[in-house]
Structure 1
Amino acid sequence: MSTEYSVANDVAVITIANPPVNGLGHAVRLGIVEGLDRALVDGEVKAIVLTGAGKAFSGGADMKEFNGPMTGRDPGLNTVLAAIENSPKPVVAAVHSVAMGGGLELAMACHYRVAARGARIALSEVTMGLLPGAGGTQRLPRLIGLEAATNMIVHGVSITSDALSDSGLFDRMAEGDLLADAIAFASEMARRGGTHPRVRDRAVLHKNPEGYLAVARQAVAAQYKDLPAPTSCLKAIEASFELPFDEGLAIERRLFLELMNGPVSRSLRHAFFSERAAAKLPDVPETTPDRAVNKVAVVGAGLMGSGIAMNFLNAGMPVVLIDISEAAVQKGVAAIRGNYEASVKKGKLDAAVLEARMARLQPKVSIEHVADCDLVIEAVFEDMDAKLKTFRALDEVARPGAILATNTSTLDVDRIAAETRRPQDVIGLHFFSPANVMRLLEVVRGAATAPDVLKTSMQLARRIGKVAVVSGVCDGFIGNRMIARYARRAGELLEQGALPEQVDRAVERFGLAMGPFRMGDLAGNDIGWAIRKRRYEEDPSMPRFEIADRLCEAGHFGQKTGAGWYDYVPGQRKAVPSSRTREMLQTWWREKGVTPRRFSDEEIVKRLIYALVNEGAEILEEGIAARASDIDAVYVHGYGFPRWRGGPMFYADTIGLYDVRRAMRGFSADDPSWAPAVLIERLADAGTAFHA
């Protein structure tokens, strides 16, 4: 049952009961209207209170209904809101915990609003590439003013009910029991008699609305150049003061439908659902017990280890930070404190919280101190011998049942697990740098990893605020295996005549946060070089990336050396096109007899993005990733792929796999390694898609 109906004295209470966030799906909408009709025909009922059960008033629309059979099924949300607004009996919204999107629009359609303190209030549709589609752009400016409403709608910001207590949005702030206060207030309004106020009948008050929106348009165009929703929000808001309410509502609805059916919103919604799908473990029963994780050890206090430790300190967990010397471990402690102090200076962290987190940190030199820890994360140098040595030591001292995790980014987790007498307790937890900032966590499931270890690791990832994606074991897992193919294709562009800045510019215009060569300079080109040297040794037939090897042989590792693919001014991070790199490329072209060719931005983008797609298809075919959407989540959260394009696999679906295959076959005419993956061939032949 999605709504509940009860009567307290002379007040009917309609409660939305659709956990977890009381989404406004069809059954809820129907239940609200039926409850309203029931209250209106009951002569004993004088007023109505609308609220939500559990931990939300309402989190808004049920996006799973979008573009589905329920999309146009009556009653739609606007029909529900009109029924509330036109009720002859007063309707009071009792708002608590969360009122977002359609949930806030529902509250604004009520005659009165009573709020609990600390509730999160937002019209956040813009984050999904949409605008409020049930009167939000028309009612909010009438309630809290044009400027405050524009800020909330265009940026999708969440504000507490306390901050909005004097804004005009709420008629009363509850000081005790919210529902009791709302029922008492509803009875009071019913006794007052007369007509009850409708937000639609108010005017938007501003001394120069046209001038204000003109300035807002310029700011939005600069900040959201790839996203249509913020501009559409401004168009709808403009209608709130230029047109009668119903005409403004019609414009809002038209703009909403345009956005909902457009590629950007579809991509953003896909990215949203990808995160949630990644958390599901189809072959691990929900009844699988968790392992308790209350204390964590991190072995390796370098940049990665100290960043990993911060995640657990932030979550309120004690952390033992271990390194081989007092100097090394204290350097890690200083790095952690420095990061926290920077947040304090920016006003993002309270000084008392800083000290509380540091008090949970236990710097140690001996690995013996992992003995009472529930989870031990190895974060030593990316070298198999170093990791095997560490795991042999951990196997001797870690308590039975402790989870032993390696932070390797490419190495064989099964080989590491086999070094212990407890391979079932070993898992890969691949954090991305900087580990205290990046949201992605690849959870690498070894052949022997126990189901409860996997489940516990996924839940722990959620506890520390990460987007966790399960990967099988292979060289590079999901993300780095794909990026290796992407980087190799980028290298081929250089070998054939492109320059690093041309390649980077093309993919950055496509929407990636950073092109492959700027990314290499930032991460350190020596890291990729070390991985390549290992792979050359393991597979002598592997194609060599000679240009990148020469760059590294010259000591040009990127930002940290002041020179890489680009040049860097000391103390600055701006990448400056390098005459030195251009000369190196020209020398290589002469040596190899290459006549440099020109590449269009379109071809550069196709070659690099389709390289990701082709490797992603291989990963799916091998079962390394369970879902195409898991690959998308990895790339959106770990590699700067534009969220508004959904991820590489979703982007390929939007292009159409027939056309993607056709382009790859064109490339393979000169290079057989471009042959489309078997999965792409099969799906293209069937006329279907990765996410079908």
Structure 2
Amino acid sequence: MSEVVTYQREGAVGVITVNYPPVNALGHAVRSGLLAALEQGQQDAEAKALLLVCEGRTFIAGADIREFGKPMQEPGLPSVVEAFESSDKPIIAAIHGTALGGGLEMALGCHYRVALESARVGLPEVKLGLLPGAGGTQRLPRLAGAQVSLDMITSGNFASAAEALQDGIVDAVESGDDVKAVGLAFAQKVIDEGKPVRRVRDLNDKVEAEKGSGIFDQYRAGLQKKACGLFSPFKCVDAVEAAFQLPFTDGMKRERELFMECMESPQRAGLVHAFFAEREVSKVPGLPKDTPVRDVNTVGIIGAGTMGGGIAMNFANVGIPVRLLEVKQEALDKGLAIIRRNYENTARKGRITQAQVEERMALIQPTLSYDDFADVDLVIEAVFENMGVKKEIFGTLDKVCKPGAILASNTSTLDIDEIASATSRPQDVVGMHFFSPANVMKLLENVCGSQTADDVKATVMAVAKRIKKVGVLVGNCYGFVGNRMLHQRGAEATKLVNEGASPQQVDKVLTDLGFPMGQFAMSDLAGIDVGYRIREERRKAGEDVPASWMDKLAEEGRLGQKTQAGVYLYEEGSRKPVVDPKVDALIAEFRKEQGIEPREISDQEILERCMYVMINEGAKILEEGIAARALDVDIVWIYGYGFPAYRGGPMFWADQVGVKEIYDTVKRFHDTLGGDQWKPAALLERLAGEGKTFGSL
């Protein structure tokens, strides 16, 4: 008998218990153990019903990620599920925690399902570029019908126990926290009432009722918008449709064929890389796991604008009190009103209650005085990008804040060491770069200066997790990781327009690659003035920043979506960019002033110049140790800049394209276009010469 799966009879119920911490994942030992325990239960003449239950904090939460990328050892999950479903004794699955992926498929192979009120179920395989491969696409529709199955499988979202009961996925929901007791009671009821074995594969009422309904074509049409460019959601629809077109056995074969198509898709590789990278990024090289963290029980935030207000919401959302500072009452009132409006909108959508709105607002205490920061544990400055202003603020914080308070800047580009120089405690100074809108975007780029203490680094990474962000620890340089690469792409995109491309052509190449928006639409969203101020700061610092038609837009007050005019026009209440002939004329005038004769530029050149300049800069970032690993760069770009997760991030994508091909092209651009941005990074050159990848570092 397997150590991770045991069999024991309690009264007339044979109990099969999985105990494979931390999440009872379906590794080889569990799969083998389940079959052995099932056989024991079948042979136990005193057992009138069998109960599948799990120890620990959850039911089976899916596949064992330790087996990802390795050949599957028999028995495979489909055969285990089939064996349970074929049992001639009723089997009841008792669900607590989460039943996800293969865990839910195991439960669907049982004849009855009972869940605790706190349980959740789901089939999230699509998030890894896959589809359920152990009968999930064939059994779920027989219980829940087409619409629920399509929604759950193509989104990968979870359903609560109450929703699962309503949809027919589980047969009962019980209160309490003793899942085994609940399962035993349900199993005894099955025995006492003489309930028959009820195999999901034999339930055809819902399948027959929805045959030929046209729902699948409608669903595919909807996915063209919300899953554009993705592979597996459409294969999920094909698999669910098979449940309505084919006998169960043939439907299972079709599911397996489609599953293998997903397995062979490059998107699956990208999504699996992103999945593991997100988990690995919190393990910071060189920072011991046992590094102590400082207590963060109260937070001060400077600036009640869009960014500061969004940051405040992150902390209030998890119950951490915030003191929000502004220099004028009017600005403070406006910021609080926007925060309340955001919460009210969320409540209207049913995501939080009105009581939660009031609870969260009560946690955000407005102030006009730095003295109210005297006892906070963490201060985050979120004012505009001006070094003089930031240094003045940090000088004040140094005088006001208690010893050991962490002083953080939300700067997106500026030197953390120079900011820290305004204080007597550079060890306590760190960057915490949130992304707009800060209450929505998942990335938190934590930036350590040369003197930032290890416990401060560990603390800001722990804070990221606490406020439900994906934290990445990076080094200090202009623009850090994300903006340093973005600014190279932005400069190249602008040059391409200077030379003859249109902004919409450049943007389309990027959206065709999978970005949610192109370079210029993103500039409009962020605000044209943001980039303009950054360029002006660099010019003041003596850098040679060339003139740009983007500067002319800012100087004319075309600041993007907030003024309904930037690179594009925006109608009232719409975020859809509309081409503006005035901008075409402005660009044409700029070319004339600069003596540029426009030429036709291919989409391929746009792709190479916009993306390869980023890869070259990413290689320099890795060389310099600003990012410790290629996966850190990938996660910054996936969660901060909309890089399509199915392409795995820029450095993973570069490996897929071929490091040698990118190096050769970068070298060619350096020879033809010139500029330091096209000087091949030493790391890129070395990897190309050695036939290695960024992933091999």
Give the TM bin, normalised by the shorter chain: over 0.9
For residues 474 and 291 of structure 1, what CA distance do their matches in structure 2 show? Answer: 25
Partners of 2:49 and 2:130 lie apart in 1 by 34
The CA deviation at 1:42 is 4.2
- Secondary structure at the counterpart of residue 14 of structure 1: strand
Cα distance between partner residues in 2 of 1:657 and 1:515 = 24
| 1:339/1:171 CA distance change after superposition, 3 Å | closer
SS of the equivalent of 1:237 reads helix
Secondary structure of the corresponding residue to residue 163 of structure 2 = coil
- In the other structure, the counterpart of 2:643 is 641
How do 1:51-90 and structure 2 match up within 5 A?
51-68=53-70, 71-90=71-90
Q: Which amino acid aligns with 2:590?
A: W
Partner of 1:484: 487
Per-residue displacement from partner, 1:515-573 (whole Å, max 9, x unpaired)?
Answer: 11121122222221221222234354x35143333333344332334433223445544
Residues 241, 513 of structure 1: CA spacing in aligned structure 2 closer, same or farther, 3 A cutoff?
A: closer
Do the aligned residues in 2 keep the contact of 1:507 with 1:515 (CA within 8 Å)? Answer: yes
Instruction: Pick from 337, 340, 355 the counterpart of residue 337 of structure 1.
Output: 340
Q: 1:562 to 1:217 in 2, by over 3 A?
A: closer
Alignment of structure 1 residues 167-566 onto 2, 5 Å:
167-176=167-176, 177-189=178-190, 196-205=197-206, 206-211=208-213, 212-540=215-543, 542-566=544-568
| Distance in 2 of aligned mates of 1:232 and 1:204 | 24
Separation (CA, whole Å) in 1 of partners of 2:574 and 2:195: 67
Residue-by-residue CA offset, 1:320-353 (whole Å, 9 max, x unaligned) = 1112222232222222112222223333332111
Identity, in percent, stands at 47
- Report the alpha carbon displacement of residue 686 of structure 1 after superposing the two structures with TM: 2.0
Say whether residues 1:144 and 2:154 are aligned partners: no
Q: Which residue type is aligned with residue 174 of structure 1?
A: E
Equivalent residue of 2:52, what SS? strand
Shift of 1:643: 2.0
- Aligned mates of 2:448, 2:225 — CA distance in 1: 43
Q: Is contact 2:385–2:533 with CA below 8 Å preserved after alignment?
A: no
C-alpha spacing 1:135/1:418, structure 2 compared with 1 (3 Å):
same
Q: What residue identity is the alignment partner of 2:602?
A: S
Size of the alignment, in residue pairs? Answer: 689
2:23 — aligned with what? 21
1:164-223 CA deviation, whole Å, 9 max, x = no partner? 224433233334543123123334545777962222222253434222333333333443
Equivalent in the alignment of 2:128: 128
CA distance, structure 2, for counterparts of residue 152 and residue 569 of structure 1: 35
Higher mean C-alpha deviation, range 479-488 or range 651-660: 651-660
AA in 2 matched with 1:560: K
Structure-2 separation of matches of 1:92 and 1:37: 16
Q: How has the CA–CA distance of structure 1 residues 610 and 231 changed in structure 2, closer, same or farther, with 3 Å as cutoff?
A: same
Secondary structure of the corresponding residue to residue 443 of structure 1: strand
Q: 1:278 to 1:135 in 2, by over 3 A?
A: same
Aligned to 1:163: 163
Q: Distance in 2 between matches of 1:15 and 1:682?
A: 53
Deviation by residue 1:354-389 (Cα, 9 ceiling, x = unmatched)? 111111121111101111211111112221111111
Closer, same or farther in 2 for the Cα pair 1:2/1:598, shift >3 Å? farther
Aligned to 1:92: 92
1:676 is aligned, of 676, 680, 690, to 680
Shift of 1:285: 2.0
Q: Are 1:146 and 1:209, in contact at CA under 8 Å, matched by a contact in 2?
A: no
DSSP-derived class of the 1:434 partner: coil
Change (3 A) 1:650 1:545: farther
How far apart, CA to CA, are the structure 1 residues paired with 2:100 and 2:532?
Answer: 48
Q: Deviations over 1:109-166 (max 9, x none)?
A: 1122221113111122222221110000111111222333233223323211212224
Cα distance change of structure 1 residues 690 and 545 upon mapping to structure 2, 3 Å threshold: farther
C-alpha distance in structure 1 between counterparts of 2:410 and 2:113, whole Å = 50
Question: What amino acid maps onto 2:644 in structure 1?
Answer: P
CA deviation profile, 1:421-447 (whole Å, cap 9, x unmatched): 222221111111121121111011122
Distance in 2, matches of 1:548 and 1:241, equals: 55
Q: What's 1:687 paired with?
A: 691
Question: Which whole-Å CA distance do the structure 2 matches of 1:21 and 1:229 have between them?
Answer: 25
Tell me the distance in 1 between the aligned counterparts of 2:183 and 2:352: 35
CA distance in 1: counterparts of 2:569 and 2:465, whole angstroms:
39
Could you tell me how far 1:615 is from its partner in structure 2?
0.8
* 1:105 shift after superposition: 0.2
Amino acid of the structure 1 residue aligned with 2:440: V
Q: d(CA) in 2 for partners of 1:329 and 1:223? A: 37
Question: In 1, distance between residues paired with 2:338 and 2:102?
Answer: 43
1:199 corresponds to which letter in structure 2?
Answer: V
Structure 1's unaligned 5+ residue stretches are none
Task: Call closer, same or farther: CA 1:208–1:323 in 2, change over 3 Å.
Answer: closer
- State the alpha-carbon separation in 1 of the partners of residues 150 and 263 from structure 2: 20
Q: Over aligned residue pairs, what C-alpha RMSD do you find?
A: 2.2
Moved more, 308-317 or 268-277: 268-277
For each residue in 1:432-471, what CA deviation from the matched residue of structure 2 results, as whole angstroms up to 9, or x when unmatched? 1121121111011122222221112111111111111111
Q: Per the alignment, do residues 576 and 181 of structure 1 end up closer, same or farther by CA in structure 2, a change over 3 Å counting?
A: closer
CA distances 1:19-66 after superposition (whole Å, capped 9, x unpaired): 333221222212222322333344454433212222211221124423
Counterpart position of 2:611 = 609
Normalising by structure 2, we get a TM-score of 0.94
- The letter for the 2-side match of 1:163 is E
SS of 2:479's equivalent in the other structure is coil
Alignment partner of 1:108 is 2:108: yes
In 2, Cα distance between equivalents of 1:109 and 1:570? 52
Match of 1:670, SS? helix
Provide the rounded CA distance (Å) in 2 between the counterparts of 1:445 and 1:690. Answer: 23
Tell me which moved more, 193-202 or 412-421.
193-202
Q: 2:663 is matched with which residue: 658, 661, 664?
A: 661
After TM superposition, the structure 1 stretch with the greater mean CA deviation from structure 2, 545-554 or 86-95, is 545-554
What is the rounded CA distance, in whole Å, between the counterparts of 1:110 and 1:88 in structure 2?
11
| Structure 1 residue 317: Cα displacement | 1.3
Contact kept, 8 Å, 1:88 with 1:195, in 2: the verdict is no
- Deviation at 1:476? 0.6
| Equivalence for 1:650 | 652
The alpha-carbon distance between structure 1 residues 225 and 377, as it changes in their structure 2 partners (threshold 3 A), is closer
Aligned counterparts of 1:280 and 1:204: Cα–Cα separation in 2: 50
When residues 353 and 260 of structure 1 are mapped into structure 2, their CA distance, relative to the original with a 3 A threshold, is same
The alpha carbon displacement at 1:103 in A equals: 0.7
> Cα 1:555–1:686, aligned 2, differ >3 Å: closer, same or farther?
same
Equivalents in 2 of 1:30, 1:678: separation in Å?
50
Q: Provide structure 2 residue ranges, at least 5 long, that are not aligned to the other structure.
A: none
Q: Which moved more, 1:368-377 or 1:124-133?
A: 124-133
